[in-house]
């Protein structure tokens, strides 16, 4: 969840979502340009406002081959497609 402390640390304007706090340097997400401090706002058609929402969305998408995620960085939203 986006606490005031996290919002300040990563300079996040969003009030809802899940902040990405760690990415392995050689990971798939790092390779497609996802950064620490990006905020997950939506996964497919499901809004993400908390860690619980994120966990539910992960369980729901287990049978899919790809997932469209809306991220926010610096007040701007952008979509990525993650292959599962």
Mean of the per-residue pLDDT values of the chain: 91
The hierarchical CATH code for the domain 4-83 is: 2.30.42.10
Q: Which long-range contacts (CB under 8 A, 24 or more apart) does 24-31 make?
A: 28/82, 28/83, 29/82
Q: Token pair of 8, please?
A: 């300040």
List the domain boundaries for the chain: 4-83
Strands (E), 1-84: 18-19, 39-43, 46-47, 66-73, 76-83
For 40-83, how does the pLDDT look when each residue is reduced to its tens digit (9 = 90+)?
999 998 999 999 999 999 998 888 899 999 999 988 999 999 98
């Amino acid at each position: 969840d986006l606490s005031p402390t996290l919002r300040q640390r990563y300079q996040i304007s969003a009030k809802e979502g899940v902040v990405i706090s760690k990415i392995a340097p050689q990971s798939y997400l790092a390779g497609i340009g996802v950064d620490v401090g990006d905020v997950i706002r939506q996964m497919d058609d499901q809004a993400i406002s908390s860690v619980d929402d994120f966990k539910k969305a992960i369980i729901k998408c287990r049978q899919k081959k790809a997932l469209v995620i809306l991220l926010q960085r610096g007040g701007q939203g952008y979509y990525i497609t993650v292959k599962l």
